[in-house]
């Protein structure tokens, strides 16, 4: 905790309104858990209202208005806008501009939830405290011209009070449970919705894998996807933010994607944007090759041909009297340390010291495995003068597919 606080920028004040919302709301939820009896109808309604709030944020504030990843008809826009407002996270105009800034300036001082400031700051610190940090500029001209966004921005506080707190208490009043409505459908729902959404700025930049690019902090993880209706495939999302999907692979959990696709099926949404799969595959391949290259670099390979001494036939014969040297594919191998491990027996190796065993090794006596070929290449001690090496035998099986780095002229290679 102390190190997390250490990463905070200098604090210049407290946003008391936000503190009140984010402290009093969970307190009301806890009060309800202790003192208010649970009504089954209220619980069902609270769950449904939770989904309404979350889909308003994920399919509305995020994928529709922050990223314009699809078009929605007006009734769907109103539905998503009210859902987003009911989650009491600021107006859509405020939310979408902040989020665009986060994408444009990811992991920098101008990113409102800069991951280098630590989990606590990105989760909630930036909401509760004032600092000198300012979000970087972004183009939000489309949001400025959108009448629904502007009207809800200017009337945000009464709308949030009504859809965030009043309505979820009033509806359970129909079955005489207004207090249950307030504590569970309003306060408990909001507390869970708040922290699940905040998790995208904190956990989704901290926990998980980087299957598409690892230069920045966003990560893919099933846990953050579960918490956020599918927004947890955040590495994919930061690479392809205009894509209406966050989970690209069919087995990944993304109910927001399914919701948008269903809206398209019903004629409520159109122009669902997808990034070309060929380019997505390139990103995935780049990261796989990068991991493979790391494995490749952790392995010891045979000595380079040009580093091996060139040995005459006479020298080879002379040396082979004192140790077991075999000639295979033009390379002289010292197998002295391998005699008692040779599956074909020690005698076969000692008896043939000083001989060309290429034909025997490649099938004349026994067709050795790739593993044998790889192992033997580690015993190379010299190259025979004029010793011909068949082209398909110079490179060991494990080196046929080799991950190489190509030099770029004016850009540094990501590492
Ligand atoms: Zn992010
Ligand atoms: Zn986004």
271: Cα within 13 Å, side-chain hemisphere: 10
CB 378 within 8 A of CB 335: no
Judged by its nearest atom, the ligand closest to the C-alpha of residue 235 is: 1
Per-residue pLDDT tens digits for 325-352: 999 888 999 999 988 888 888 888 888 8
Q: What is the pLDDT of residue 413?
A: 58
Of 350, 343, 346, 338, the residue nearest 376 (C-alpha): 338
**Rounded to the nearest whole angstrom, what is the distance from the C-alpha of residue 46 to the centroid of ligand 1?**
28
pTM of the model: 0.86
Token pair 């989990």 is found at 119
Residue 45 Cα distances to 21, 80, 87, 97, angstroms? 22, 18, 15, 31
- Could you give the angle at which helices 147-154 and 92-104 cross, rounded to 10 degrees? 110
Residue 174 Cα distances to 41, 167, 183, 390, angstroms? 10, 11, 15, 87
**Rounded to the nearest whole angstrom, what is the distance from the C-alpha of residue 237 to the centroid of ligand 1?**
8
- Could you give the angle at which helices 189-201 and 40-55 cross, rounded to 10 degrees? 30
Does the pLDDT of residue 4 top 90, yes or no? no
Q: What is the pLDDT of residue 389?
A: 63
**Rounded to the nearest whole angstrom, what is the distance from the C-alpha of residue 242 to the centroid of ligand 2?**
8
Of 398, 395, 343, 394, the residue nearest 370 (C-alpha): 398
**Rounded to the nearest whole angstrom, what is the distance from the C-alpha of residue 281 to the centroid of ligand 2?**
20
Q: What is the pLDDT of residue 345?
A: 86
Q: What does the CA dihedral 250, 254, 257, 261 come to, rounded to 10 degrees?
A: 60
Per-residue pLDDT tens digits for 121-166: 999 999 999 998 898 999 999 999 999 999 999 999 999 999 999 9
**Rounded to the nearest whole angstrom, what is the distance from the C-alpha of residue 172 to the centroid of ligand 1?**
36
123: Cα within 13 Å, side-chain hemisphere: 16
Give strand pairing partners of 367. 362
| Eight-state DSSP code of residue 162 | I
Judged by its nearest atom, the ligand closest to the C-alpha of residue 201 is: 1
Per-residue pLDDT tens digits for 283-320: 999 999 999 999 999 999 988 888 899 999 999 999 99
305-399 fold: Flavocytochrome B2; Chain A, domain 1 (3.10.120)
Give residue limits of the domains in the chain. 2-288, 305-399
**Rounded to the nearest whole angstrom, what is the distance from the C-alpha of residue 413 to the centroid of ligand 2?**
26
């Amino acid at each position: 905790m102390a190190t997390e606080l250490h990463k905070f920028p200098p604090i210049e004040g407290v946003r008391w309104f936000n503190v009140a919302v984010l402290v009093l709301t969970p307190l009301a939820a806890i009060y309800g858990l202790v003192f208010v009896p649970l009504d089954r109808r209220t619980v069902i309604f609270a769950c449904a209202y939770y989904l309404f709030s979350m889909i308003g944020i994920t399919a509305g504030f995020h994928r529709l208005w922050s990223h314009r990843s699809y078009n929605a008809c007006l009734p769907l826009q109103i539905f998503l806008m009210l859902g987003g407002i009911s989650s009491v996270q600021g107006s859509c105009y405020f939310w979408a501009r902040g989020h665009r800034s986060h994408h444009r300036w990811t992991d920098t001082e101008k990113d409102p939830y800069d991951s280098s400031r630590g989990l606590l700051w990105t989760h909630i610190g930036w909401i509760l405290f004032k600092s000198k940090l300012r979000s970087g500029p972004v183009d939000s001209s489309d949001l400025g011209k959108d009448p629904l966004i502007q009207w809800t921005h200017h009337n945000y506080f009464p709308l949030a009070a009504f859809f965030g707190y009043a309505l979820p208490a009033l509806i359970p009043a129909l079955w005489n449970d207004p207090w249950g409505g307030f504590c569970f459908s309003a306060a408990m729902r909001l507390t869970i919705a708040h922290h699940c959404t905040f998790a995208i700025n904190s956990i989704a930049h901290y926990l998980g894998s980087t299957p598409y690019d690892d230069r920045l902090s966003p990560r893919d993880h099933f846990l953050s996807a579960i918490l956020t209706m599918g927004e947890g495939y955040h590495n994919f999302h930061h690479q392809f933010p205009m894509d209406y999907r966050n989970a690209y692979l069919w087995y990944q959990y993304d109910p927001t994607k399914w919701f948008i696709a269903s809206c398209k099926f019903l004629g409520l949404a159109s122009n669902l944007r997808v990034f070309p799969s060929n380019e997505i595959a390139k990103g995935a391949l780049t990261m796989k090759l990068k991991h493979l290259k790391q494995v490749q670099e952790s392995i010891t390979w045979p000595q380079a041909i040009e580093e091996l001494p060139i040995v005459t036939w006479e020298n080879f014969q002379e040396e082979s009297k004192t140790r077991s040297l075999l000639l295979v594919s033009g390379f002289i191998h010292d197998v002295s340390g391998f005699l008692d491990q040779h599956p074909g027996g020690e005698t076969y190796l000692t008896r043939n010291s000083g001989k060309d065993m290429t034909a025997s090794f490649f099938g004349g006596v026994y067709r050795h495995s790739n593993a044998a070929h790889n192992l033997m290449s580690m015993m190379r001690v010299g190259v025979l003068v004029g010793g011909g090496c068949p082209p398909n035998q110079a490179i060991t099986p494990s080196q046929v597919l080799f991950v190489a780095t190509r030099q770029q002229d004016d850009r540094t290679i990501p590492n």
